[in-house]
Amino acid sequence: MRAEILSVGTELLLGQIVDTNAAFLAQQLSTLGVDVYWISQVGDNRGRLVETFRRAWSRSDLIVVTGGLGPTEDDLTREAIAEVLGEEMVEVPELVDQVRAFFARRGREMPPRNAKQGTLIPSAQALPNPIGTAPGWWVERDGRIIVAMPGVPVEMRKMWEEQVLPRLRQVQGTQIILSRTLKVLGLGESAAEEMVRSLLASTNPTLATYAKQDGVHLRITAKADSPEEARALIASFERRVLDMVGDYVYGADDDTPAGVVGRLLTEQGLTVATAESCSGGWLANALTDVPGSSKYFVGGFVTYTAETKRLLGVPQHVLDTYGTVHPETSAALARAARERTGADIGVGITGVAGPDAVEGQVVGTVHVVVDARGTRHTESSVYSTTRTEVKRRAALDALFLLWRALRDVGR
Amino acid sequence: MRAEILSVGTELLLGQIVDTNAAFLAQQLSTLGVDVYWISQVGDNRGRLVETFRRAWSRSDLIVVTGGLGPTEDDLTREAIAEVLGEEMVEVPELVDQVRAFFARRGREMPPRNAKQGTLIPSAQALPNPIGTAPGWWVERDGRIIVAMPGVPVEMRKMWEEQVLPRLRQVQGTQIILSRTLKVLGLGESAAEEMVRSLLASTNPTLATYAKQDGVHLRITAKADSPEEARALIASFERRVLDMVGDYVYGADDDTPAGVVGRLLTEQGLTVATAESCSGGWLANALTDVPGSSKYFVGGFVTYTAETKRLLGVPQHVLDTYGTVHPETSAALARAARERTGADIGVGITGVAGPDAVEGQVVGTVHVVVDARGTRHTESSVYSTTRTEVKRRAALDALFLLWRALRDVGR
């Protein structure tokens, strides 16, 4: 089944709101096994709406539209559908009564213009909207379907789940699509793709790579007649992926670097403390995003000057010999964080976030050290990117090193 | 000028990512006075890409496309543009050298397939991408323009601001729209809207409110024949807005809470140190996002346990009397941060980020204290929201208090 998503509203074309409805619907349709080929945003303009609906009606089996179901003259989704199908909009007394009842529950009278929300065309059934005034439309004709829902996300989602999804499941039969995402740290997208190259041509399951905020994603997608069959396809394919790149796969699906590190720390009964210079608290902030992190994260230091580094316990001779940006300085920070707080593991980060070079070292330089009870793991990199990105990358390097160190202890 | 936005990538049609690029570009184009009539998302499929480009080329004066400029076989934006214009892609040695240099800066060799990122067609100029491998394209032919930029938001925005915007301003004639956004902290959106209610009906300039990550935005938009005229309209309207809500307006346009606080600290020659519990480093991370913050931010402590609070210098009797979440404990943290580092101002934050209540205090409780050379400013709130949002709100409260304290000193 070929589907198309339309989002209606001039505010989308002015960039006043981000179209999260389309992403939600695309994701829902993809897990139903429906192929979404087109998504578009259209303004509250009758000519352009009709043109867009006409094209969609000519090429798609299913059109899911949100927005334009309000009571004003600018709300033209119903009118456009009626025009494209050559059908007439008729007020349905029971539907108008439902809209009127919605106002009555709020102690208000229905403004006359809202009567238009109680209209249908012959090919349409109404989709009830218990939390708003606009009922949806389920239109079926010539083997094609149009679903029209309100643009307000909370109303749309409720209508989708309670009204649309059950109807679509009936239409759609059994074929389903399942996905699983493996997540990689310590490799760029090109390098990861290179390592799994031979699997990229596979058609079922398919494999695709994406560069994301929390590392590189390897997404495995399988089509099958049952969830069990799809899961089995994914499981055997996943083993082949892991044979190639498993050493860098820190988790799957909803896992985050800080979440996985937290799980390993909890399992191993270890605690951690951080001492950050260039990353400025990013790492502590990420670690404490995880619920329950107070069990293993004892504390963090943002030592933004040579003076606060000394104060934490970095020896003067280290600063004199190596300066404030150096693997040895990061190591001294990691050690000081560990010893000051009594944590099992200390993390130290120095670097140059920019805009200016420091002690002759270029912007983007990052030195990360993980000191796990005296065993030192070091990683140095140079990132050519923005200040906030350098901070983020430095902290991600630290999470990568932490994960590696904890995983290898556990092995 | 009629514009159209295309976002390329199968991940958009699978709902794996939300198309924030389109919203950003729509908003930018609208402030340029360019009418955006169509936005669509297209997958990495050559046939559908060409079809979509062909339609756009036939109906729009300006096509802004993001995504599909990577090095892989799935990245087909260049190929589709070339096909629609009937031009041939040619490798440009200097461009390929730039891509190669990007890899060299990372100590890596350019994979052969990346050479395709150094191609152009005769009607295209390259748009430099200093923070990624994919240069953009600026295509001009038959009085129409195509702008192709990378899909990675940070690369796209940099290219937009430095390369595309200046070129578009030249192309774009005289009727212009200018906007100015006043930014509010310490008030919710409803309260802010209530205070400026009488101005919301104005038609030129218009006034609109938005709840955003860095506070409530009050956006003033004026249309005029010249930038001077538009600026004059905005200036006189702004005075009326400030009369109503000025006490809460911390800045405008690109100002951020941390940036404004940094500017005030710099002007007044003061330094700050932070001691965070429930916000877990969010505040330090925000303060250090500002270039030049090393001049006034001396250091931060994330004291996530009673033990690390003691270690920093919170007296035992404070912890015994008030517990770990209390205005007095925040005050002791603020004072300890200040005294430990010698900073002029200390900030202390305690609270309950969740998921569990602490010492009988509900999730979402936040106590913030700013200790400016012994003068104490306190703010306590309860937020019913998620863990990461509680962290963010706590830090934002601290920035609000800091800003108020610094502003009032300066008055």
| pLDDT given for residue A108 in this prediction | 82
Distance from CA of B88 to the nearest CA of A (A): 26
pLDDT by residue, tens only, chain A of 411 residues: 899 999 999 889 988 889 999 999 999 998 888 889 999 999 999 999 999 999 999 999 999 999 999 888 889 999 999 999 999 999 999 999 999 998 888 788 888 889 999 999 999 999 999 888 899 999 999 889 999 999 989 899 999 999 999 899 888 776 777 889 999 998 888 889 999 999 998 989 999 888 888 999 999 989 888 889 999 999 999 999 999 999 999 999 989 999 999 999 999 999 999 999 999 999 999 999 999 999 999 999 999 999 999 999 999 999 999 999 999 999 999 999 999 999 999 999 999 998 888 888 899 999 999 999 989 999 999 988 889 999 999 999 999 999 999 998 755
Q: From chain B, pick out residues whose CB is under 8 angstroms from the CB of A26.
A: 12-15
Establish, for the pair of chains A and B, how many residue pairs have beta carbons separated by less than 8 Å: 231
pLDDT > 60? residue B397: yes
CA distance B95 to B69: 14
CA distance B401 to B347: 9
pLDDT > 90? residue B404: yes
How many CB atoms lie under 10 A from the CB of residue A321? 11
Q: Do B37 and A194 touch (CB under 8 A)?
A: no
Q: Residue B26 is nearest to which of A14, A288, A302, comparing CB atoms? A: A14
Q: How many CA atoms lie within 13 A of B27 on its CB side?
A: 13
- Any B CB within 8 A of A170 CB: no
Choose the weakest-confidence range: A344-348, B24-28, B166-170, B223-227: B223-227
CB of B287 closer than 8 Å to CB of A273: no
Q: Do B30 and A37 touch (CB under 8 A)?
A: no
pTM to 2 decimal places? 0.72
With both helix axes pointing from N to C terminus, report the angle between B387-410 and B257-268 in degrees, rounded to the nearest 10.
Answer: 30
B-facing residues of A in 11-40 (CB < 8 A) are: 12-20, 22-30, 36-40
| pLDDT given for residue A62 in this prediction | 96
Structure tokens at A293: 């992190």
Among the residues of A246-326, which ranges form H helices? 257-268, 282-287, 306-312, 316-322
Average pLDDT over residues B216-244: 92
CB of A302 closer than 8 Å to CB of B281: yes
Distance from CA of B204 to the nearest CA of A (A): 17
CA distance A352 to A361: 7
Q: List the single residue in A with minimal CA-CA distance to B284.
A: A281
CA distance A127 to A157: 12
B301, B349, B350, B385: best mutation site toward chain A, by most A Cβ within 10 Å? B301
| pLDDT given for residue B312 in this prediction | 95
State CA B40 to chain mean position distance.
23
Which of B54, B53, B86 lies closest to B68, judged by CA? B53
How many CB atoms lie under 10 A from the CB of residue B311? 17
pLDDT > 80? residue B174: no
Residue B99 CB burial class (10 angstroms; 0-12, 13-18, ≥19): buried
Give the 3-state secondary structure of A216-250: EEEEEEEEECCHHHHHHHHHHHHHHHHHHHHHHEE
CA distance B61 to B292: 42
Structure tokens at B242: 């400030």
CA-to-CA separations, B342 to A307, A341, A347, B81, in angstroms, rounded = 10, 21, 25, 60
pLDDT digits (tens, 9 = 90+) for A245-304: 999 999 999 899 999 999 999 999 999 999 999 999 999 999 999 999 999 999 999 999
| pLDDT given for residue B313 in this prediction | 95
Q: List the single residue in B with minimal CA-CA distance to A283.
A: B281
- 């930029």: which residue's tokens? B149
Report cis status (omega within 30 of 0) of the bond before A355: yes
CB of A348 closer than 8 Å to CB of A333: yes
| pLDDT given for residue A328 in this prediction | 97
Q: Which residues are CB-neighbours of B281 under 8 A, at least 6 positions away?
A: A281, A282, A283, A284, A285, A287, A288, A300, A302, B300, B302
| pLDDT given for residue A379 in this prediction | 93
- Any B CB within 8 A of A380 CB: no
B112 — alpha (psi -120 to 50), left (phi > 0) or beta? alpha
Report cis status (omega within 30 of 0) of the bond before B355: yes
Which of A62, A9, A12, A7 lies closest to A36, judged by CA? A62
- Any A CB within 8 A of B112 CB: no
pLDDT digits (tens, 9 = 90+) for B42-82: 999 999 999 999 999 999 999 999 999 999 888 999 999 99
pLDDT, mean over chain B: 92
Q: List the single residue in B with minimal CA-CA distance to A293.
A: B304
Average pLDDT over residues B269-291: 97
Report cis status (omega within 30 of 0) of the bond before B205: yes
Q: Do B23 and A29 touch (CB under 8 A)?
A: no
pLDDT > 70? residue B272: yes
CB of A218 closer than 8 Å to CB of A244: no
With both helix axes pointing from N to C terminus, report the angle between A46-59 and A77-85 in degrees, rounded to the nearest 10.
Answer: 50
Q: Do B18 and A15 touch (CB under 8 A)?
A: no
Q: Residue A280 is nearest to which of B38, B288, B340, comparing CB atoms? A: B288
- 């070079």: which residue's tokens? A357
- Any A CB within 8 A of B340 CB: yes
| pLDDT given for residue A188 in this prediction | 83
Q: List the single residue in A with minimal CA-CA distance to B310.
A: A341
A-facing residues of B in 229-248 (CB < 8 A) are: none
Q: Which residues pair with A139 in a beta bridge?
A: A124, A146
Distance from CA of B85 to the nearest CA of A (A): 22
Q: Do B26 and A12 touch (CB under 8 A)?
A: yes
- Any A CB within 8 A of B217 CB: no
Q: Which residues pair with A168 in a beta bridge?
A: none
Report cis status (omega within 30 of 0) of the bond before B135: no
CA distance A33 to A230: 12
State CA A174 to chain mean position distance.
27
pLDDT digits (tens, 9 = 90+) for B299-334: 999 999 999 999 999 999 999 999 999 999 999 999
pLDDT digits (tens, 9 = 90+) for B82-110: 999 999 999 999 999 999 999 998 888 89
Q: Band of the pLDDT at B173, cuts 50, 70, 90?
A: low
Q: Do B19 and A15 touch (CB under 8 A)?
A: no
